[in-house]
Amino acid sequence: MEDLPSILERTHRGDYGPIVARVIRLMGGDFAAAEEVVQEAFAAALQQWPRAGIPAEPRAWLMRTAHHKAVDRVRRDVRLAARVDTLETRARVEQSSAPALDEADWRDTPDDSLRLLFTCCHPALGQEAQVALALRTLCGLTTEEVARAFLVPTATMAQRLVRAQRKIRDARIPYVVPEVDALGERTQGVLHTLYLLFSEGYAATEGDELLRVDLCAEALRLGRLARSLLPQQAEVASLLALMLLHHSRRRARVSADGGLVLLDRQDRALWDREQMTEGLAQLDAALALGARGVFTHQAAIAALHARAARPEDTDWEQIAALYDRLCVLAPGPVVELNRAAAVAMARGPEQGLALVDDLEASGRLTEYYLLPAARADLLRRMGRGAEAAVAYRRALALVRTAPERRFLEERLREVLSSP
């Protein structure tokens, strides 16, 4: 039976963002205050649930508690500050505080997340700040997780988040989904956020599980909403295609004991064909709209994997060519590392290793465990076991998820036991 800390942790991971999204609206767009109130609600649960029992609907209980705490705080602020807009603030509070929320209310008002997403992606903020703020508040990622997504120190990311929240508050940026003619200027930030949200769910950067299905499902839900709002934006369709194609392989990607299963060893019968077909259809729709962007290229790579009946049928030369183009469209060390892996599959591990070594020499991915992991794999395939072992140990020093750690340890044992 699941214990209280586990239930609270799971609820926090799955529901923190949607609860914050609801409370931010009540608190007039004050991100920092809303986050404090939601944290207080979780703290209250930690105190009360052991005595009163775990509620039948934990999420609704937390939402109601956060809601009441927000109302109390706004009322207190109104009294203390005696602001000119007292009447307006009171009206908002009274309107919001009347009914107690339950699970049905939650299901019937799903748009707070979309409202928060578009608010975070206001053009007054830089795009990195937009995405970081959305990941922290909407998606409930920790500051450390957001920092890792951007490959920057945690302290740097914390400062960026505070500045972004302050800017939204001081500029009185409205907490709304903008009119249709203003959606376009926020599209790139929205897409980037959804991509990182999905990526964190599909390849969690920390913890005991490889997948966070809740994050993937939320990214797909918001992606479909964005697609309905922007039906003529090709990159929106491309991103939705990319997420669907990756998500269709989720069951085959994790073994029965929670371990990592690489693509070439996956049971393709476990792939979700319905979701794969939908993803391919979204990619076709994007191409019909003239898509040529970053997400289109990534979706095209995912489609090549999807269409290969067996691992040996994969068109690695075409995948390597698509990564060549991605290195031009969206240059960066992670894209270069993926290109090196594709080149190794298409033309042999020696060529891939040369690219990985160049990347390592540049010093741009010193804390990214997949760089030494990729190098170790190439050395293993070339029969250079001793060097592979060194690289596996380096990867193990950096990896943060338990399944990937177990995978690397297994590979290390293999190369150490090889003659």
> What's the mean per-residue pLDDT of the chain?
86
The percent of residues in the chain predicted with pLDDT above 90, rounded, is: 46
Cβ-contact 338, 263 below 8 angstroms: no
Identify which of 23-37, 215-229, 378-392 has the greatest average pLDDT: 378-392
Quick one: pLDDT at residue 98? Answer: 40
Region of poorest pLDDT, from 198-207, 315-324, 332-341: 198-207
Closest CA to 115 of 226, 21, 16, 216: 21
Quick one: pLDDT at residue 85? Answer: 55
Quick one: pLDDT at residue 80? Answer: 58
Burial class (CB in 10 A: 0-12, 13-18, 19+), 378: buried
Per-residue pLDDT band at 110 (split at 50, 70, 90): very low
Residues 391-411: tens digit of each pLDDT: 999 999 999 889 999 999 999
Per-residue pLDDT band at 189 (split at 50, 70, 90): confident
> Higher-confidence residue: 8 or 262?
262
- Averaged over 77-84, what is the pLDDT? 59
Cβ-contact 285, 227 below 8 angstroms: no
Per-residue pLDDT band at 81 (split at 50, 70, 90): low
Burial class (CB in 10 A: 0-12, 13-18, 19+), 267: exposed
**pLDDT surpasses 80 at 360:** yes
CA distances from 118 to 29, 75, 225, 361 (A): 12, 27, 12, 39
Torsion sign (Cα): 357, 359, 364, 369: negative
State pTM to two decimals.
0.79
Residues 192-241: tens digit of each pLDDT: 889 988 988 888 777 777 888 888 988 998 899 889 888 999 999 999 99
Per-residue pLDDT band at 247 (split at 50, 70, 90): very high
Residue 220 — φ and ψ, nearest 5°?
Answer: -65, -40
- Averaged over 104-131, what is the pLDDT? 74
Cα 305 from Cα 313, distance rounded (Å): 9
**pLDDT surpasses 70 at 350:** yes
Cβ-contact 320, 336 below 8 angstroms: no
Closest CA to 343 of 373, 329, 359, 322: 322
Quick one: pLDDT at residue 82? Answer: 55
